[in-house]
Amino acid sequence: MAFSGKICIDSGLKGNLRLAYVYICGLAVNRNNGCLAQEMETTLARLCERLSDAGRLREFLLPARTLYHRFGLDPTRGRPSSEALLRRVLRGKGLYRINTLVDACNLSSVEFGLPVGLYDAQKIIGDVVCRPGWPGESYAGIGKEEIHLNGKPVLADARGPFGNPSSDSRRTMIDLTTSQALFVIFAPHSYDATLLGEQLRKASERILRYCGGTIKASGLLPEKAAS
């Protein structure tokens, strides 16, 4: 059974987070792209200059940290993926260079200050739900040992969890053969929905610019703020 293109938030997490997602088919993933490399250099230089002030850096990190605090997680022990990447950039090490799809999405994560998930949609089975991780649940991380998921917000399909805001799974990782992908932005429920929508649009345009493809589905969850 293939990915249905449907994603939802479990009732137990509503009021705790927002998700923005896009499902894109017909992608062409390459090892590198000169224009993307230039955009990365320009964007990261501008970001480093802006966040050289400690107060601005704290403000920039706050949304992702707020998301973690809502789940009782310590963002200084297991950092949101966006903060881990940003701190690498601020140390002058730049972003990891993997391939055009991963690089474009990592750039968006650092630019927005929000953790993202990127998954090969052909490796996803059925519907996707964002739910709390269960006790004892884990998966093999990308370049890491087992990632323990108890209490974390996770994305899961018919086979189980494959993503969370800190580290994605090896099972759904992107490679040069990927032609369909699901991209997700994780944000706290208090995050401005209009801004999140604008960030999703910018990230989607960046993916299409460097990897081609066609958007099959996209949206913000929850679709309406809780009353």
pLDDT at 171: 97
Render pLDDT for 91-115 as a digit per residue (tens, 0 to 9): 999 999 999 999 999 999 999 999 9
More confident residue, 61 or 14: 61
Specify if 227 maps to a domain: no
What's this model's pTM, rounded to 2 decimal places?
0.96
Specify if 115 maps to a domain: yes
pLDDT at 143: 83
Residue 9, strand partner residues: 130
pLDDT at 225: 47
Contact of 99 with 31, CB cutoff 8 Å: yes
pLDDT at 226: 42
Q: Is the dihedral of CA 72, 88, 29, 170 positive or negative?
A: negative
Specify if 84 maps to a domain: yes
Specify if 154 maps to a domain: yes
Render pLDDT for 36-74 as a digit per residue (tens, 0 to 9): 999 999 999 999 999 999 999 999 999 999 999 999 999
Render pLDDT for 187-222 as a digit per residue (tens, 0 to 9): 999 999 999 999 999 999 999 999 999 999 999 999
Q: What is the CATH number of the domain that holds 63?
A: 3.50.40.10
State the total domains in the chain: 1
pLDDT at 224: 61
Specify if 123 maps to a domain: yes
Residues 6+ apart with CB under 8 A from 181: 23, 24, 27, 101, 118, 119, 120, 121, 174, 207
**Residue 227 pLDDT exceeds 50:** no
Specify if 175 maps to a domain: yes
pLDDT at 78: 85
The mean per-residue pLDDT over the stretch 105-128 comes to: 98
Specify if 105 maps to a domain: yes
Render pLDDT for 138-171 as a digit per residue (tens, 0 to 9): 999 998 789 999 999 999 999 999 999 999 999 9
pLDDT at 12: 86
Range of the domain at 74: 3-221
